[in-house]
Amino acid sequence: MSDLFQDYSEAAARSGAYDEMFAQGHIARKSYGQVSGALRELSLADVTARADSMARTFLDRGVTFDYAGEERPFPLDIVPRVIPADEWDVLERGVAQRVKALEAFLNDVYGRMAVVTDGVIPRQLVTTSAHFHRAVHGFEPSGGVRVHVSGIDVVRDAAGTFRVLEDNVRVPSGVSYVLENRRAMAKGLPEAFGQQHIRPVEEYPRRLLSALRKTAPAGVDDPTVVVLTPGVFNSAYFEHTLLAGLMGVELVEGRDLICRGNRVYMRTTAGEQRVDVIYKRIDDDFLDPLQFRSDSMLGCPGLVNAARAGGVTIANAVGNGVADDKLVYSYVPDLIRYYLHEEPIIANVDTFRLEEKEAREHVLDRLEELVVKPVDGSGGKGLVIGPDATKDELDALRKRVIADPRGWIAQPVLQLSTVPTLSGDKFGPRHVDLRPFAVNDGDDVWVLPGGLTRVALKEGSLIVNSSQGGGSKDTWVLADSPQLPAEIIPRQSVTVREQVSVWPVESNWRDRQTEQQQ
Amino acid sequence: MLSRIAESLFWIGRYVERADGTSRILDVHLERLNHLPLEEQRSVARELLAVMGAKPQGEEFGLPELLHALAYDKHSASSIAGSLGAARENARRARETVSQSLWESLNTTYYGLNQHRKDVVGTYRFCNWVLERTAMVRGLADTTVSHDESWLFMVLGRSLERADMTARMLSTRDVQSAGMSWVNMLRCAGAYESFIRTRRAAFGDQHAAEFLLLDRLFPRSIVYALRDADECLAKLDPSAQRVGFINDARRIVGQARTFLEFHRTDDLMSELPEHMERVQKAVTQASDAISRKYFNQADEHAWVGEVS
């Protein structure tokens, strides 16, 4: 192996994590055969040139995220993350199972609350959640789906087992990078694709559009779908434009919409046009000033009532936040057993519920060994990693936990698995997570093969969020049965003669003309 | 204007558009080709070259040879480098007629041809660069040349070549039946967003092919390009005729366009190869007829000699 991998095995041993590419003794795993072969052929100059050109492409295409008010290209590392078919099969089923359970849970929570009556979870758990919205209680959203799009974050622990880290069923973002990463990789490292069959990701926008159309209010023949964005200053604005563009639908802001008579319209040059499905990319709190924050300028007054009356489908449904509350997360395995009568396919990470007195005392004694997270945080905000925190930070944390035990959970520090990542002039192991995306159309949960692999670009860092110095990797799912290249199906060489000719018989004007000339 | 100058301008239009079309086709196919097993790669490379109207030289013909033949071969009129070289050569002969900025941009392009790595990754960059340069040449031609006869000849060449290139683009679908999805086909023509916005949820091969063949508003569709050519021809020869057309080129272009535009079919896909063959044939014949009428040369293929 070229000197790009010099020192890699020592660094990997130092971190003690599961390495996705190399097994014990620096031997590339089977699924990485092609990738490692391709990388071996490249010199440092090649690799840097390609990485630069990929970054340049991202900037040109506007694949950026907003970092402290500045547009930055989302760092894409040149080494892909590869998932073999058998492992993906488990993940796929596990993710779909989870989405189904959360869907059932939400329906129940905003309806009969049988899950509470049957004693699976305490009532308090639901009613104390910041994202439990009474405004949407007691009605089934038209189309019958609440979790149209979800992103279930999974990680691999030191033993190599996949575990769910958190659920995102409100506004999961990042799928645009999956689509763009694949495009960039196909041009940046074409050798690595080789002859293996990698499952494509390009069908995502079509799947999403068809799911959105399918869940339109009853009686609408040709539903109009729109993407609702908070506007150009949102950090995920690029994603909103990309999805709207790829689906061929309008990208609207709150001020483009009007609610009247429990129906939603958008202002167009041809007058007001009815909107049937809204793919909502803004937080519930800002959606409808009549129900939530009354100072919000991003939403449109009356949306929630329109949804309640069945005049519009909002995807994802309002109030989904109660299902990705991190304390509810600790009950998801029970929810899966309760609603689906199945055992969870992917396990949770062990979680301490700080409301329970014993657990709290145990955690407060060992704060420096644990990760403590706020239950409704996203993007890594507010999270404290014990081993990396100073004494002052831990003391502050202790006070906050005691003041609001419902607001926090604690988990052991997981050594997330690592993948080689270009850093300076060589590859080093960097920690990654994985966010598979699932689309639910009411009948079926489809999981996008792969998903977004985020990588912490700093050595040893466990925080992969883009807002805190994370990058991403293209994620490849290998197909089940490698295509048999030996057997080339002879292409039928269809000549025009063999087909029915529809054109008029060619007039012989040219022949006549040549005759005349002669 | 001088026939010789008119001919140069006509061919500037054609060659620049050819470079543009070829780099689009190459760009999408490369990605696919790269993933095929070696044996299949060879046979597909050959077929692709055939669609682009060239013959492989020598026994060994794989991916590197295809890149050479379609991108870097300066001696072939069907390669990108060859086309751009020929366009520049034509502009050099008509320098006093074309605007300074148009000449300069063609000349700069010509000198930039060598500054690219000729491997697969380099070729992606090369194709992108060619698209940018040709867009610039077209823009300068439209904004710095009076829209008189000379400009019309340039646009005429461009429109005919565009119809031809879109036809070839659609023909390459047959070459790689496994990999050439309609998404790639539309991307190839830069038509993806337009298509999606027009057709909403109607996806599929048939609709994509229909869009590239028949759409009346998308500038790279065959019907649109042929109508442009038709309009140029009409402006070049405005003599109103009570019956029929004296101008062969007008008749050929008009016939092809109207046939496509008024043709009704239930199974476009199986007819596609015939449509493509006819469109390409019509373009060749129209080009010949234009040569005969305006350029008045005994040897219609004199331009071949200009390739250097």
> Where does residue A274 fall: left (phi above 0), alpha (psi -120 to 50 degrees), or beta otherwise?
beta
Between CA A171 and CA A316 the distance in angstroms is 7
What's the token pair of residue B242? 């009570």
Per-window interface: A 282-311 vs B, CB < 8 A: none
For residue A176, the number of C-alpha atoms closer than 13 Å in the C-beta half-sphere is 22
A499 contact residues in B (CB cutoff 8 A): 270-271, 273-274
DSSP-derived secondary structure letter, A257:
E
* Whole-number pLDDT of residue A208: 94
B203 contact residues in A (CB cutoff 8 A): 206
* pLDDT tens per residue, range A204-259: 998 999 999 999 998 888 899 999 999 888 888 889 999 998 898 999 999 999 99
Q: Helix, strand or coil for residue A454?
A: strand
Closest CB from A195, A248, A510 relative to B200: A248
For residue A351, the number of C-alpha atoms closer than 13 Å in the C-beta half-sphere is 23
Q: What is the mean pLDDT of residues A428-432?
A: 92
Residue B307: pLDDT band with limits 50, 70, 90: very low
For the whole model, what pTM was predicted?
A: 0.83
Q: Give the DSSP per-residue string, B98-167.
A: S-HHHHHHHHHHHHHTTSS--SHHHHHHHHHHHHHHHHHHHHHHHHHS-TTHHHHHHHHHHHHHHHHHHH
How wide is the angle at C-alpha B253 spanned by C-alphas B250 and B259, nearest 5°?
Answer: 125
Task: Tell me if A145 sits within 8 A of A215, measured CB to CB.
Answer: yes
Range list of H helices, chain B: 3-33, 38-51, 63-67, 80-93, 100-112, 120-144, 149-175, 182-188, 192-199, 205-214, 222-236, 248-262, 268-290
Task: Tell me if A477 sits within 8 A of A83, measured CB to CB.
Answer: yes
The answer to whether the CB atoms of B174 and A202 lie below 8 A apart is: no
Total Cβ atoms within 10 A of residue A410: 25
Q: Which residue has the higher pLDDT, A493 or A293?
A: A293
Measured between CB atoms, does A512 come within 8 Å of chain B?
Answer: no
Task: Tell me if A136 sits within 8 A of A319, measured CB to CB.
Answer: yes
Closest CB from B196, B271, B273 relative to A248: B196
Measured between CB atoms, does B246 come within 8 Å of chain A?
Answer: no
The answer to whether the CB atoms of A248 and B263 lie below 8 A apart is: no
Name the residue in chain A with its Cα closest to that of B200.
Answer: A248
CA distance to partner chain A, nearest, from residue B97 (Å) = 33
Phi and psi torsions of A76, nearest 5°: -115, 125
* Whole-number pLDDT of residue B11: 95
DSSP-derived secondary structure letter, A63:
-
Q: Is the pLDDT of residue A331 over 60?
A: yes
Q: Helix, strand or coil for residue A118?
A: coil
Lowest mean pLDDT among B61-70, B128-137, B171-180: B171-180
CA distance to partner chain B, nearest, from residue A484 (Å) = 10
Measured between CB atoms, does A497 come within 8 Å of chain B?
Answer: no
* pLDDT tens per residue, range B227-238: 999 999 999 988
Q: Is the pLDDT of residue A70 over 50?
A: yes
A488 contact residues in B (CB cutoff 8 A): 39-40, 43
* Whole-number pLDDT of residue B200: 66
Q: Which long-range contacts (CB under 8 A, 24 or more apart) does A6-9 make?
A: A6/A426, A7/A426, A7/A428, A8/A420, A8/A426, A8/A427, A8/A428, A8/A429
* Whole-number pLDDT of residue A516: 47
For residue B139, the number of C-alpha atoms closer than 13 Å in the C-beta half-sphere is 7
Between CA B102 and CA B85 the distance in angstroms is 14
CA distance to partner chain B, nearest, from residue A451 (Å) = 21
Closest CB from B201, B270, B277 relative to A209: B201
Total Cβ atoms within 10 A of residue B220: 22
A207 contact residues in B (CB cutoff 8 A): none
Residue with tokens 């998903």: A451
Residue B187: pLDDT band with limits 50, 70, 90: confident
Name the residue in chain B with its Cα closest to that of A226.
Answer: B200
Tell me which range, A52-56, A481-485, B284-288, B293-297, is most confidently predicted by mean pLDDT.
Answer: B284-288
Interface residue of A185, A268, A502 to substitute, partner B, most B CBs within 10 Å:
A502
Residue with tokens 């019958």: A144
What's the token pair of residue B180? 């050439």
Interface residue of A43, A210, A503, A506 to substitute, partner B, most B CBs within 10 Å:
A503
Strand order in the sheet with A250-252: A250-252, A225-228, A277-280, A313-315
Per-window interface: B 21-50 vs A, CB < 8 A: 30-31, 34-37, 39-40, 43
Task: Tell me if B279 sits within 8 A of B222, measured CB to CB.
Answer: yes
Closest CB from A188, A202, A248 relative to B121: A188
Q: What is the mean pLDDT of chain A?
A: 86
Residue with tokens 């050099």: B92
What's the token pair of residue B191? 């038509």
Q: What percent of chain B is predicted at pLDDT more than 70?
A: 93
* pLDDT tens per residue, range A463-510: 887 777 788 999 999 987 654 444 444 444 444 445 567 787 765 545
Strands A352-353 and A27-28, bridge-based pairing: unpaired
State the burial class of residue A315 (Cβ atoms within 10 Å of its Cβ: 0-12, 13-18, 19+): buried
Closest CB from B36, B177, B259 relative to A503: B259
Nearest to A194 by CA among A32, A369, A71, A384: A32
A206 contact residues in B (CB cutoff 8 A): 203
User: Domain residue spans in chain B?
Assistant: 1-144, 145-298
Measured between CB atoms, does A137 come within 8 Å of chain B?
Answer: no
Task: Tell me if A387 sits within 8 A of A368, measured CB to CB.
Answer: yes
* Whole-number pLDDT of residue A511: 47
CA B262 to chain centre: 24
A210 contact residues in B (CB cutoff 8 A): 201
Residue with tokens 């990654």: A432
* Whole-number pLDDT of residue B271: 87
The answer to whether the CB atoms of B37 and A206 lie below 8 A apart is: no
Orientation of helix A391-403 relative to helix A357-365, angle to 10°: 170
Nearest to A303 by CA among A339, A254, A270, A267: A254
ipTM above 0.90, yes or no: no
Q: What is the mean pLDDT of residues B114-131?
A: 88
Q: Is the pLDDT of residue B121 over 50?
A: yes
State the burial class of residue B146 (Cβ atoms within 10 Å of its Cβ: 0-12, 13-18, 19+): exposed
> Where does residue A289 fall: left (phi above 0), alpha (psi -120 to 50 degrees), or beta otherwise?
alpha
Interface residue of A53, A60, A179, A187 to substitute, partner B, most B CBs within 10 Å:
A187
Name the residue in chain A with its Cα closest to that of B175.
Answer: A491
